[in-house]
Amino acid sequence: MRRATDIHASAWVALALALVFSLPAQALAAARCDKPVYLTIDTGHMGVAPLVAEVLARQQVKATFFLANERTQPVGARPEGSTLDEHWAGWWKQLAAQGHDFGSHTWDHVVWQADRPQGLRVKPTAGARIGERFDLPDAGYCEQLQRPATRFEQMTGQRMRAIFRAPGGRTSPRLLAVAQRCGWQHVPWTPNGFLGDELDSSRYPNAALLAQALQRVRSGEILLMHLGIWSRQDPWAPAVLEPLIVGLKARGFCFETLGQHPTFGAAGLAPRDARAPVPTPAR
């Protein structure tokens, strides 16, 4: 016998999917909206990235992406790469041309562990020192923030804005102060904006996560998702993404980038590394 919660979740999925096919994207985009939400997307294994971009284009939604140089899944004969390598340069350039917003997620996806007398204890989940715990001086953390911005400008010809998201959302007052001194403003997500794509899919199936988001999200929420999570067996994106967008639009919400946010929209352009030449955009 199916539980009531399962039936309720399935009903939401059916309703959202019906709306996908019954409401033209132009009509949804044209509707007046005074209930903004802000979709933010952190890098991941990129296996779902092309499909995510298709959904955003089809639904005429602009998002804010936070970039780290993370390991990516093999694609066909292509072995593992990284999110900011040449294979993905054109993809990022296309997103930038479409008007999405961008921030840093640290180059090596360095997760804060503790404050130290001379810096920050971190544990990268990418790069040459993956899995190590070590102390990173303040200047080293600033470099971790800067490198995605330099690479983004090289790939796209555009400047990244001076916003960042600490991997895992893990921060401390000292980390935030270090980032502020080198010109960066931190962007968390809101509690109701946690969409659950990092959770175990056997315990948190897509239908339940969709129903939960459609019920909980309120105006002004900053939503969090990723471009692929290695540990989730049943991928959240893009399966939930389009029904979620359509379902929120049907409830009167609209999607804006953090460039339109009352707090984070005021952030200027990311600082440039004075030691590096001005990047040349990828062709």
pLDDT tens, residue by residue, 190-226: 999 999 999 999 999 999 999 999 999 999 999 999 9
pLDDT score of 73 more than 50: yes
Distance CA 178, CA 211 (A): 39
- Pairing mode, if any, of strands 222-226 and 254-256? unpaired
CB 168 within 8 A of CB 111: yes
| 131 token code pair | 């899995």
Q: Name 254's bridge partners.
A: 36
pLDDT at residue 118 in the model? 87
Radius of gyration of the chain (CA): 19
- Contact predicate 227/256, CB 8 Å: no
Confidence tier at 64 by pLDDT (50, 70, 90)? very high
For the segment 176-183, the average pLDDT, to the nearest whole number, is 97
Whole-model pTM: value is 0.87
pLDDT score for 9? 47
- Angle formed at CA 17 by CA 44 and CA 9, multiple of 5 degrees: 80
Rounded Cα gap, residues 160 and 251, in angstroms = 32
Q: Give yes or no for residue 31 having a pLDDT over 80.
A: no
Stretch 12-28: mean pLDDT = 47
* 225-263 pLDDT tens trace: 999 999 999 999 999 999 999 999 999 999 999 999 999
Residue 5 — pLDDT band, cuts 50, 70, 90? very low
The token pair at 194 is 């946690």
Task: Choose among 169, 24, 160: nearest CA to 95.
Answer: 160
Strand partners, 101: 64
Residue 231 · residue 213 · CB < 8 Å: no
Q: How far is CA 134 from the centre of its chain?
A: 26
Q: Identify the helix (H) or strand (E) that includes residue 218.
A: none
What tokens does 203 get?
A: 């315990």
